Amino acid sequence: MKSGDVVGGRYLIRRKLGEGGMSFVYLAEDLLLGRNVAIKVLREPYADDEQFRRRFLREAQAVSLLSHPNIVTLFDTGTHDGAPYLVFEYVPGRTLKEEIRARGPLPLDEVLSIGDQVLRALAHAHNRGIVHRDVKPHNILLTADGTAKVSDFGIARALGGETLTESGTFLGSAHYFSPEQAKGETITPASDLYAFGVVLYEMLTGDLPFAGDSPVTVALKHVEASPPSVRERRPEVPVALENVVRRAMAKRPENRYPTAEAMRLDLASSLDPARRKELPWEEPGSDPFDTATWTRPFSEHASEKPGSPPTPGAGRESGAGRVMRVLRRPPVWGTVLALAFLFSLWWGIRALSAPFQVPEKEVPHVVGMTREEALRALEQAGFARVDTREETSDEVEAGRVIAQDPPAGTRLKTTASVLLTLSLGPNKVSVPDVRGLSLEVAKSRLTDFAEVRTEEEFSDTVPVGLVIRQIPAGGAEVVTKQTTVTLVVSKGPKETTMPDVVGRSLEEARVLLARAGFNPDPKVEREKSYFPAGSVIRAWPYQAGEKAAPGTKVTLFVSDGLLPDAVEVHYPVTVLPQGSEPVDVRISVSDARFTDHTVIRETVNGAKTYEVLLVLAPGKDGLLRVYQDGVLVLSQAIPYAEAKHGDTSGGNGGASSPPSPSGDASPLLPP
């Protein structure tokens, strides 16, 4: 695939944007809708490999279920020369990884803004059974207005079925592995939250929590090591914000946030003044105040030498008598003082640590209860701190508990908080806006709705096959399983205008005809002409600008090569602007093919050279005209006789250059 290729009959390749291990990414123009898109194409070595094709197309299946402002949109899919491709929205800007490399630690409010958007995207995906599996700053795109978009669901799949490991190989990036991912265990939404916890750590400190000489070394650290403190590297980070990172990066999935939405809400409030005195979060099961290794029992015979027998009759002597007997012995005063000091130290440690010896109790099962019932059950079990959040549910009636964190049966300190997720009732979602999309793509965005109906009508403004309007309108909040969406699809105009296809490639001409509502005849007539091989010579039965009914068949005549007396001339022209203002350039030619036909029209900001093609023939000399901001600045005649003998420099003969127009730019001149 190269610049100038037309993919799928509508996407004109402009340039390569980048490449990954399995695919290339190109910038292309959608000729049908006149917008830029990004096309990801599977590399040739993998295109014939069934395993890689399945993995690549898995991305399309996953992303087609997603429609969210913080997720890169999938527009179309197809196959080009045997290689599958995906068409995405083009997102100008740079990745979060590039932003961190350029700026280092990000401002706290910016961290919260990006975090909020990414977690909304993950929540949207998780609610539809999709786990990203490769969350990292390289896959988070940032636009100039601060919008964050999650990209590259290349190894995502619907939940359920086999585990992540395939042929013993870990998928993802080692620096952002969750412990379960590093061990090759089943991946869940909690794995995405761990990976994003690493991303938060990197945004806050500018560094990764774990480094190593190899991916295996880094992965092992995710399993075994605790990450360095964020606040040690950046003291101004509040404890509450560091707690979000600590909980997201908990080693055990059940100790992390229950959902991306729960993590988003906690992150959003992490800078609130009310949370300034929050204690550091500790993963359940760890006890920083455990004094088991600090104390040891004292023996009555601690002062005796090892192996020496007890004093006869010691068992019958009272405690007071033993103390007095010891005190009467001057040589053992040092031992007594040492024992007294150790006893005081032991007693002090116990006294200081007593307030921190918080009892652990088993969390009761409260899922399905009303809010009041759940709070009462938790209070009776000894848990006074209860946080709540709300979430829509199609299965659980409003006001009842959908989920709890931690789950029932977990042993938890009674001072810890229990999070309850309460139902808001049936799930209401925003209807996707599918206007301007093809019917096939529009339907793929509406698979969750009860029914999708279609109607057709004529339109002078919307191309054939695209959605004109929808009912309900995009953005309306509805219950998906109870809503029927009606799509009104364009049949094109009642009367359409024949486009100018002469000089175009066959593929471009067919796209233009289809967009205008005509039916290109698959059968093509070929003949020798003054047009290069493959170019359209003329169309029948209509010429450019004529009116016809939509659906009219048009036959295209295509050049089979130049006639023997034709001469091709490639004439160079250079523009040399002097100032910083852009210059509108138009170049027209008259030759054996055209009369005053515009071949180039664009705006330039600096020096640029064009190579203009003219085809000359006996009695059909060439004339090249160059306009700058609408003013003729060069008129160059190119006689057939001179071109036939190889003299196409133009010289002074036949050339007429009008005076340079006023302004900062110089006239366009031949080099």
Whether the predicted pLDDT of 294 surpasses 80: no
Full set of structural domains in the chain with CATH: 6-89 (3.30.200.20), 96-275 (1.10.510.10), 360-423 (3.30.10.20), 428-490 (3.30.10.20), 496-562 (3.30.10.20), 567-656 (2.60.40.2560)
The pLDDT tens digits for 202-239 are 999 999 999 887 788 888 899 989 999 999 999 999 99
Burial 398-426 (b: 16+ CB within 10 A, else e): eebbbbbbbeeebebbeebebbbbbbeeb
Strand intervals (E) in 410-531 = 411-413, 418-423, 428-430, 451-457, 467-471, 477-479, 484-490, 496-497, 519-520, 525-529
Q: Are 569 and 599 in contact (CB under 8 A)?
A: no
Segment holding 39, helix H or strand E? strand 35-42
Question: Pick from 132, 131, 151, 130: which is nearest to 140 by CA?
Answer: 151
Whether the predicted pLDDT of 256 surpasses 60: yes
Rounded Cα distance, 187 and 192, in Å: 8
Question: Pick from 419, 406, 117, 137: which is nearest to 253 by CA?
Answer: 406
Q: Which two tokens stand for residue 518?
A: 């005509």
Do you know the residue count of the chain? 671
Catalytic site positions:
134
> What average pLDDT is seen over the chain?
82
**pLDDT interval class at 669 (50, 70, 90):** very low
Rounded Cα distance, 671 and 669, in Å: 6
**pLDDT interval class at 296 (50, 70, 90):** very low
End-to-end CA distance of the chain: 32
Q: Which two tokens stand for residue 488?
A: 């009104």
Q: What is the mean pLDDT of residues 291-298?
A: 30
Query: Out of 294-308, 490-504, 534-548, which region has the weakest mean confidence (pLDDT)?
Result: 294-308
List the binding residues.
Answer: 40
Three-state DSSP class for 125?
Answer: helix
Angle among Cα 73, 77, 81 to the nearest 5 degrees reads 140
The pLDDT tens digits for 95-122 are 999 999 989 999 999 999 999 999 999 9
List the binding residues for ATP.
Answer: 40
User: Is the model more confident about 305 or about 574?
Assistant: 574
Percent of all residues in the chain with a pLDDT value above 90, rounded to a whole number: 52
Sort 233 into a burial class: Cβ within 10 Å, 0-12 / 13-18 / 19+.
middle
Percent of all residues in the chain with a pLDDT value above 70, rounded to a whole number: 80
Task: For 550-567, give the secondary structure using H, E and C.
Answer: CCCEEEEEEEEEECCCCE
Total Cβ atoms within 10 A of residue 576: 15
The pLDDT tens digits for 301-347 are 333 333 344 444 444 444 334 333 433 444 444 544 544 554 554 45
The pLDDT tens digits for 421-476 are 898 888 778 899 999 999 999 999 999 899 999 999 988 889 889 999 999 999 88
The pLDDT tens digits for 48-86 are 777 777 766 766 776 777 889 999 988 888 888 888 888
Question: Pick from 607, 562, 609, 554: which is nearest to 580 by CA?
Answer: 607
Interhelix angle 189-205/239-248, rounded to 10 degrees, is 140
Rounded Cα distance, 185 and 371, in Å: 35
Q: Which two tokens stand for residue 335?
A: 């031992």
The pLDDT tens digits for 592-613 are 999 999 999 999 988 899 999 9
What pLDDT sits at residue 337?
53
Whether the predicted pLDDT of 479 surpasses 60: yes
Query: Out of 21-30, 244-253, 351-360, 611-620, which region has the weakest mean confidence (pLDDT)?
Result: 351-360
Q: Which two tokens stand for residue 608?
A: 């640029």
Total Cβ atoms within 10 A of residue 666: 17
HSE at residue 85, side-chain half, CA atoms within 13 A, is 26
The pLDDT tens digits for 122-131 are 999 999 888 8
